Amino acid sequence: MNRSPRRRAWAAIAYAAMVLCATALFFVIRSLGETPVGPAQATSRVAPAGPASDALQHLLVTLTAVVIAGRLLGRLLRRMGQPPVLGEVIAGVMLGPSLLGAVSPEAYRFVLAPEVVPYLGIVSQLGVVFYMFLVGVELNPDLMRGQLHVTVATSHASILVPFVLGSALALFLYPRFASPDVPFTSFALFIGIAMSITAFPVLARILSDLKLTKTDLGTVALTCAAVDDVTAWCLLALVVGVVEASTGMAVVATVLTLAFILLMFAVVRPGIGKALRASDEAEPGHGRIALAVVGMMAAALTTEAIGVHALFGAFLFGAVIPHDSRLAHALTRGFEGFVKILLLPAFFAFAGMRTEIGLLSGVDAWVACGLIVLVATAGKFGGTLVAARAGGLRWQSAAALGVLMNTRGLMQLIVLNVGLDLGVITPTLFTMMVVMALVTTIATTPALQMLLRRGFVPDLR
C-alpha cells in the first residue's frame, strides 16, 4: 500500500490534530470537573486482619482452591470458545464475597481466611510482576514494522478516543463514586487510562484459537495491541507519578521515568544483545537465568522508587531481552507454567476478594455500570474503526480490528488493582470496571465469529 507524499502529509496533519484535540478536550473536561461540589463518600474498605496464625496452612488452602477452580472453569470456557484465562478471572470472583461469601460465609472464611489476606496480596503482586516480565520477554518488536502506516495511528486513536470519553465520563462518576480526598484530575486521568487498555496476551490467545495469527488482520491487530500496551503503560506511569506526588514531584517522576525508558532501550538492550551474541552456550544455564531475574527485580525496584509501580519496570526489562533469543525461550519455559498456574490465580483470587457485586445495589449503580461498558466499547471500537478506515482498511476489516482491540481481560484487572491500591478508585467503582473488563472480553470471540460466518476474509489487501 504505497501512498503519495501528499497523502502522507495529510495523514501526519490529521494525526497531529487528533493528538492536540484529545489533549485540549481533556483540559476542558478537567476544568469542568474541578468544581467545589465534593464527591460522595466512598464505601469503606474492610481492613486486613492482624497477624496470622497458621498462615502457611491457610495460604496453601487458598492457593489449592483457586488453582482447582480456575482450571475447571478455564476448561469449561475453552469449550465455549472463550479464552481459558477468563475462567480463572471468573473463578476468582466466584470465590470472593460476590458468590461464595454470599452463599456460604463459613466456606468463604475457610477458603479465603481473613488472616491470609496480607500474604495472598504479596503472592499476587509477585505473580503480576513476573507475568508482566514474561509479557515483555514475549513482545515482538518486529510486529511494529511493515504496517506502521496503519498501526501507529490506529493504535493511538484506540487510546485517545476512549481516553477522552473516559475522562468525560469521569464528570458523571466523580461526584457519585470517587473518594473525597482524590482530586478530579487524578481521577479523570485514571478513568481515561482504564478505558484505553487492550489485553495483548488475551488478544493473542483469541487470534491463535481462531487460527488468525498469521493473517493480515492478526498481524495488524497484534501490532496495534503491542503499540497500545506500551503507550498505555507509559501513560499509566505518568498517572501514578501524578497521583503519588505533588505537581513538582510528578514532573520529576515523569522525567525520571522517561530517562529510565531511554536507558533501558539505548543502553541495556544493546548490552544484553551483545552479551547474548558473545555467549557460546547452546542453552543458558542457571547463572544467566538468575542474572535476568536479578535484572528484572532491579528494574522493578527502580520504577517503584521513582514512584511508578514495580510491574512497569519488570515489563520494560522483559521488553529489552531479545524475544527470539535462547535466554528468552529459557525464561518462558522456566517461569510461564509456574506463573500462570499458581501465581496468577492468586492474583485473580485477590482481585475477586475486592470485587463485591453486592456493592452495585440499586438501579443507579447498575445504570452507571452499563454506561461504563457502553463508553468503553464505543471509545475502543469507534476509535479503532474510524482510524483503521482512514488508514485504508475496508469497513469489514476495520470493524474486525475494532472488535479485537476492545479485548481487555487480565491487563485491565492489573491496572484496576493499581488504581485501587493507590486509592484513586473506590471498591464500588472497581467492581463496575471489573464487570466492564469481563463483558468486553467475553464479547470479542462471538462478535469476531459472527463476522467470519458472514463471509469476512481476514485479508486487508
Residue 355 and residue 118: Cα distance in Å, rounded?
17
Residue 171 and residue 425: Cα distance in Å, rounded?
14
Q: Report the range of poorest mean pLDDT among 2-11, 115-124, 354-363.
A: 2-11
Answer whether residue 262 is part of any domain: yes
- Which cell numbers in the block locate residue 439? 463483558
- Total domain count, the chain: 1
| pLDDT score, position 30 | 81
Q: Report the range of poorest mean pLDDT among 9-13, 296-300, 326-330.
A: 9-13
Residue 328 and residue 326: Cα distance in Å, rounded?
5
Answer whether residue 6 is part of any domain: no
Residue 440 and residue 403: Cα distance in Å, rounded?
9
pLDDT higher for 262 or 231?
262
- For the chain, the maximum distance between any two Cα atoms, rounded to a whole number of angstroms, is 71
Answer whether residue 12 is part of any domain: no
| pLDDT score, position 396 | 82
| pLDDT score, position 376 | 92
424-450: pLDDT as tens digits: 899 899 999 989 988 988 888 888 888
| pLDDT score, position 164 | 93
CA distances from 109 to 89, 328, 359 (A): 20, 40, 19
In contact, 370 and 96? CB cutoff 8 Å: no
Burial 327-339 (b: 16+ CB within 10 A, else e): bbebbeebbeeeb
pLDDT higher for 165 or 26?
165
Which CATH number do you get for residue 76?
A: 1.20.1530.20
Question: Taking residues 390-416, what's their average pLDDT?
Answer: 83
pLDDT tier for residue 167 given thresholds of 50, 70 and 90: very high
H helices then E strands: how many in the chain?
Answer: 20, 0
Answer whether residue 438 is part of any domain: yes
179-216: pLDDT as tens digits: 888 888 889 989 998 898 887 767 777 777 777 766 77
Q: What is the pTM of this model?
A: 0.75
Domain that holds residue 59: 54-277+285-453
Answer whether residue 41 is part of any domain: no
**CA torsion sign, 447 to 453 to 455 to 460?**
positive
pLDDT higher for 216 or 374?
374
pLDDT tier for residue 36 given thresholds of 50, 70 and 90: low
Per DSSP, which regions of 73-217 are E strands? none
Does pLDDT of 275 surpass 90?
A: no
Answer whether residue 382 is part of any domain: yes
Answer whether residue 16 is part of any domain: no
Answer whether residue 372 is part of any domain: yes
Instruction: Provide CB contacts within 8 A for 363, sequence distance 6+.
Output: none
pLDDT tier for residue 373 given thresholds of 50, 70 and 90: very high
| pLDDT score, position 150 | 64
